Amino acid sequence: QRLTTISTSALMNNQENEYINRLISIREKQAEIWKEQLMLEIRIHCKFLPLNFDHLENFISPTDYSPLNNNAKAIEVKNKHYKIIQEAKRLWLNYFLNIYEIKIQEYERQYQNEFIKLESLFSNNNDKTMLNNIKEHINSRINRLKKDIYDKMASFRRIILQNRQRSSSTKNVIGVSPEPYLDLISNPFD
Tell me what the pLDDT averaged over the chain comes to: 82
Lowest mean pLDDT among 6-10, 53-57, 67-71, 144-148: 6-10
User: Does 178 map to a domain?
Assistant: no
Confidence category of residue 47, pLDDT binned at 50, 70, 90: confident
CA dist., res. 101 & res. 10, Å (int): 40
User: Does 12 map to a domain?
Assistant: yes
User: Does 188 map to a domain?
Assistant: no
**pLDDT of 8 strictly over 50:** no
Lowest mean pLDDT among 14-23, 40-49, 55-64, 115-124: 55-64
**pLDDT of 156 strictly over 90:** yes
In percent, the amount of the chain with pLDDT more than 90 equals 39
User: Does 52 map to a domain?
Assistant: yes
User: Does 187 map to a domain?
Assistant: no
User: Does 183 map to a domain?
Assistant: no
Determine how many CB atoms are found less than 10 A away from the CB of residue 188: 6
**pLDDT of 13 strictly over 80:** no
Per-residue pLDDT, averaged over 2-27, amounts to 72
Owning domain of residue 102:
2-172
CA dist., res. 117 & res. 111, Å (int): 10
pLDDT digits (tens, 9 = 90+) for 164-173: 888 766 666 6
Q: Work out how many domains the chain is built from and give that number.
A: 1
Per-residue pLDDT, averaged over 165-186, amounts to 65
